[in-house]
Structure 1
Amino acid sequence: MALDLFAGIPVSDYRAALLWYERLLGTPPTFVASDTEAVWELAEHRSLFIEHRPEHAGHALHTVFVDDLDAFVSQASGRGLEPTKRETYPNGVRKALYRDPDGNELDFGGAPL
């Protein structure tokens, strides 16, 4: 069975969120679906989108695993965004937590060093 992932993040200020996610992800959206929705394809069939839905803003929680967590964090830092928190689990898996202006949580995880 083929699977696609389309994970949404509700935001209260679409323009501010668009700029913030462009900085975090290091690229403009893959496509803009409407005046209130932008989509980033993180990998084939795996997309993240923001949508202006102020009544739901601040409640998203997503984790994305990347091949090189240190490189991702370094690149995001170079664009002016620092993780809110970093964690290392007992099994060695590491995570860098980012919060957008609404408080939505987007974590990036990586395998043990």
Structure 2
Amino acid sequence: MALELFAGIPVADYAAALEWYERLLGSPPTFVASDTEVVWELAEHRYVFIEHRPEHAGHAMHTIFVDDFDALVARIADRGLEPADRETYSNGVRKAIYRDPEGNEIGFGGAPL
């Protein structure tokens, strides 16, 4: 079975969100879906998108697992963003949580050291 994932993030201030997510994800969007929606392809068939939907803004919660957690968090810091929170679970898995200006949560998880 083929699988594609589109994880949506509703925003109220589209222009500010676009700039913030470009900093977080390290690139401009992969494509523009419409006047109110842009999409980043994080890996083959795995996408994150922001969409201007003010009535739902601030309620997204997504976690993305990456191979090199420390390198990713360092690259994001180089672009001027720091995690709002960090967690380490009992099994050693680590998570860096970022919150956009509207409160949407994007976490990056990584394997134990």
Q: TM-score, normalised by structure 1?
A: 0.99
SS of the aligned residue for 1:103 comes to coil
Matches within 5 A, 1:62-101: 62-101=62-101
Displacement of 1:110: 0.2
Counterpart of 2:60? 60
Query: Residue type of the partner of 2:37?
Result: E
Aligned to 1:55, what secondary structure does the other structure show? helix
**Corresponding pairs, count:** 113
The Cα shift of 1:74 comes to: 0.4
In the TM superposition, 1:1-113 aligns within 5 A as: 1-113=1-113
Unaligned runs of 5+ in 2: none
Q: After TM superposition, where is structure 1 displaced by more than 3 Å over at least 4 residues in a row?
A: none
CA drift of 1:35 comes to 1.2
Identity score, percent? 79
Query: How large is the Cα RMSD of the aligned pairs?
Result: 0.4
Task: Spell out, residue by residue over 1:28-86, the C-alpha distance to the aligned partner (whole angstroms, 9 max, x if none).
Answer: 00001111100000000000000000000000000000111111110000000000000
Q: Provide structure 1 residue ranges, at least 5 long, that are not aligned to the other structure.
A: none
Q: 2 CA distance for matches of 1:22 and 1:66? A: 18
